[in-house]
Chain A
């Protein structure tokens, strides 16, 4: 039994997925560039001088999926928006209920975010980061309370989604999304 357990650690597949074409690399770059630029530009335009922001680290992770792994189930709109929203809700709640024990608030936030994303079929890896950010974030982030769920956790991914719809459908052999809901 122990032997089987350790055998699993060796992996089963002979090799990882192949490297994508250069065209794919270039379109991933263009999409991510425009997506993050749009988020940063909007954030600057709307929220300069306020405590609000649109640029959170987890959007960088989302960009990997929605511009770099366009076909992935994890990158579809339901997951992109739903994953961030569900995780932000969990993160803010974890901070407000368990903020006194930072380690507990952090671990509960991420673990619960994954569980709820699974249950709602919105699994989106960057959601875990969003949940964590809601706990470990700055004083400004904490002060937002559940507004964090709306800005940036809903608006940010929405901007990425809009750019993904525009850019990912330009190349002939790329399309987005595979499925909406």
Chain B
């Protein structure tokens, strides 16, 4: 049910798309090598691998101490799978959140319900479409989906991060899905809190190199 991002060291060097790294072409590296006088005893492939790994170490150093546990919001009221959509909507608005984790009775994280999921239940793709339909009165919002169970509408499996996840795993997880929030859960699936994309971005801005 729960997918934690994995770390496999050097293997990842070939897939650096998790961070905003620029992919260096051989031509870029060769051009740079021409600018340094003398024979450089390194292949472009080795240089690229070194660059990616060093970049990652630099990020780890700059964002030391930035963990999912520190950034997450705890004390949020999660949804239950059998809960009616109408009650779920009340929890969204009551907590001012646009995504809420869904937790089974045994307190295991089983999914996430987002505003997008709710809108889909009402047959629209975004809020503006909903407003437009109301304004033109082309369709009156039906109440039918309100009785549907959260379990039917939620997104699962859910992308989550462990509480000790640092900058790179969090970024990798956010890059894997477009959601605004990501549950923080233990490896056994117990929900600890909710990490909001905006909280993460704020922390990066404050603690980051720029």
Contacts and interface: CB of A to CB of B under 8 A. Distances in A.
B26 A15 contact: yes
B39 A13 contact: no
A43 B44 CA distance: 41
A72 B43 CA distance: 12
A70 interface: yes
Contacts of A23: 37
B33 interface: yes
A14 interface: yes
Nearest to A14: B26
B30 interface: yes
Contact of B37 (A14, A75, A174): A174
Contact of B39 (A15, A69, A73): A69
B45 A12 contact: yes
A74 interface: yes
Interface string A1-44: 00000000000111111101101100000000000000000000
B38 A174 contact: yes
A142 interface: no
B38 A20 contact: yes
A162 to B, nearest CB: 20
B40 interface: yes
Contacts of A72: 39, 41
B42 interface: yes
Q: How many of chain B's residues touch chain A, expressed as a range?
A: 10 to 19
Interface residues of A, number: 21
A173 interface: yes
A17 B37 contact: no
A18 B34 contact: yes
Given A12-B45, A17-B33, A18-B33, A24 B39 contact: yes
Interface string B5-46: 000000000000000000000110010011001111111110
Contacts of B38: 20, 24, 69-71, 173-174
A17 B26 contact: no
A62 to B, nearest CB: 14
B40 A71 contact: yes
Nearest to B35: A18
Contacts of A71: 38-41
A13 B34 contact: no
A156 to B, nearest CB: 22
B42 A17 contact: yes
A17 B40 contact: yes
Most chain A CB atoms below 10 A, which of B33, B38, B42:
B38
A80 B45 CA distance: 26
A21 B40 CA distance: 12
Counting from the closest, the 6 A-B pairs by CB-CB distance are A72-B41, A14-B26, A173-B37, A69-B39, A13-B44, A13-B45
15 contacts: A13-B43, A15-B30, A17-B30, A17-B39, A17-B40, A17-B43, A18-B30, A18-B33, A20-B38, A70-B38, A70-B39, A72-B41, A74-B41, A75-B41, A174-B37
Interface of B: 26-27, 30, 33-34, 37-45
Given A17-B30, A20-B37, A74-B41, 5 more contacts: A18-B33, A71-B39, A71-B40, A73-B41, A174-B38
